[in-house]
Structure 1
Amino acid sequence: MKALSLAIDAYHALTPEVRERIVQTVRTRLQEPPYRLLSPEHLRTLATLETAGPPVVSLYLQLTPERRVGRAWQSAFSALTHRVSQAMDEAARTSINADLQDVQRALERQLPELGRGAAFYACRERGIWRQIALPIPLPDRIQIGSRPYLRPLLRSWGRSDRMLLAVLSREQSRFLVSHLGAVEEIYRVKGQRIRGLLTDRVPRDRRSALANQLMRDEAKALASMAEIIGREFETSHILLCAPPDMSAAFRDHLSKNVQSRLGMFEASVHASPAEIGAAVATVQEQLKAREERQLVDRLREASPVAVSTGVQETLDCLSEGRVLTLVADDTYAARGWHCRQCGSLFEVTPSKCPVCREADLEPVDDLLEAALQQALECRAQIAFVRDPACRSALTQKAPLQALLRY
């Protein structure tokens, strides 16, 4: 889908009304039915969906280049749906088959252009329908349950995995969002054609000053747009590509918090999103590694009352809603237990839940994924540690830790 467009020049200012329209158009676009890269708010909304009646179908399908050739994805999809159909009872088969047929028609109509996979969450009887482009291929799977099955998706999620890319020039600027290697263009801004204003009516000795003022006004508006878009997508960094004078003016109008999360790269303003993604890849990896080191340092240096440093202690803080940032070793995997009554998670099986005193406990195949879903539900940030040196430093205490709200 084409990027949203806007003009900013001497005749089109970034007024409060225009700012509000930018926010609304970005949010509206995030709700459009075609495949979208997942926003944090979408993920939180999916985590809160629950059905007391008809079940939700959650489907993950890899769409690698090999799967796209000759519609090879159809074979994988048919195998998945056949296994599910054989396992379900007659009462559920009709509604679930209808949902799966909706998914198949959507795939036949259009495969996502972005990413290497797709996820669907569907329940026709409850009006639930989400189709999402996945930036990385997740294992093929269909899950039927009372709520969307998000755990595979959560493994690919982390705040530092989303960055805003700003490619600026005096006559055209572009804003793109990068998520795990997939890049989507969000906004394209038509700037000021300065030559058209510098006519004979403007004295020669004022032309340079006028041109610089117009450029600074445009950079100020673009900085405000960058902060709006970055806030909506909850990006960790802004990566900037711009001429030196425009770059300096843009940075001057960013808040101090955003300035501390600014990086630089080089690309053509006319490059494709894929080319821009390739140009920025090295810078992104460097920033992610730096952020992981800073995060591990914060955990190590924080006051004992501001962190949890054991797995069970972290799980307890999650249940209490105290977690601000959940920090996980990305390779951590362990089984655990979940209380059906209060939702608490445990490393080791208790005879009764120590929180609600009920004995209604169920096993959890992946304790980390269950913890990630709880973190999402209480609006905590999620941070994965993937750098080997940082993982080693983290796991000296525990592979699952947290920075706390209180």
Structure 2
Amino acid sequence: MASQKSPNPLVRLAFHVEHHVESWSWRLRRKVGLGRPPRILPYRGYGTPRQSVIKARVLEDRHVRPPWKRHTLLGSAIASWKRYMTVEIPHARVKVCWGDKHWEGTTDEEGFLELWVEPPAGVKAGWHDVELELLSPAPKGVARVRSPVLVAGSEAEFGVISDIDDTVIVTNVTNFLKRAWTLFLTEHRTRLPFEGVDAFYDALHQGSTGSAGNPIFYVSSSPWNLYEHLDEFLGLHRIPAGPLLLRDWGLSRTGFAPGGGHGHKLEKIRGLLATMESLPFILIGDSGQEDAEHYRTIVHEFPGRIRCVYIRNVWHRPGRERELAFIAADIRAAGSQMLAVDDTVTAARHAASQGWIRWREVAEVQAHQQQDAEARTLLDKLDRDHG
């Protein structure tokens, strides 16, 4: 495994100065009555009956209006601005209760809580609600939230790790201006997933038996500030829920992001495979970024664990097809397989031929793909009609 570069001392200094100033500013505003109250933003955790991770973030509450109260482009832009202009609360103490077990955790400099725990005895596979309570800084009243945790059980046949940008959601991430529009100004209600993704991912979740409960994870270079946006998107379009593993944007201990490519995805995928022990995985990405290269690395590092790599063909630079063919050959030589697909039905047919999903689900994927294509055509027409 390649070693990470040591962070630049100036970067470390700038990081500590920035967060010291932000923390001091928040405490001062709170002392004079100008600071907003803290809130816990729960993230979807995951794990096994042996170990699971509880994830959340403690932030100053910016009172982002819920989606059903945002009706204009300006309202969408304001909500996006509030999500990005966060004030993180470091060193906050959080109490975690899961069944008859209790723990305490402390947030890091960016306000993140990541607490590894041993779940209660006899915990079953599936989703569990864990209670988080903010202990300090002292909230006004009781600050409690529910944090969902996905436990993978012995019934699971495999896990799925999927990219999001241009794999689940059309974002045109290779075009900077279009990506900026997508991230900052568009609502999850007006964006559409790739055709048939909901039915295909649901089929993978059900597996060959229809009740396998195969866990699905989403890994992206999108910032944590978009967590609620992406989670709402998945729910609206009935795409199976799963932990979202995103990226912290801005100044960090190791540098400034977004920058330095998408290598952080490798770290997250490695962590997932290590946590899920011997569970095999299917990896899904797109041709526009470095997904194929990262997935090839994972195939080599975890021999026998990767059943297949699916790469969705999207816009990419000239010569990319030749690179993908070389990577596919390398992955086959390592004992796995990679398939570049133009649409979701092609991937579903291949998965059914391998016995990973039921053949009857392929017809469902095809029907959803047609419905989604018709919806996209209608939306494009409405956009043209309204200029």
Q: TM-score range by the shorter chain?
A: under 0.3
Query: Greater helix percent: which structure?
Result: 1
TM-score (norm 2): 0.23
TM-score (norm 1): 0.22
Larger radius of gyration: 1
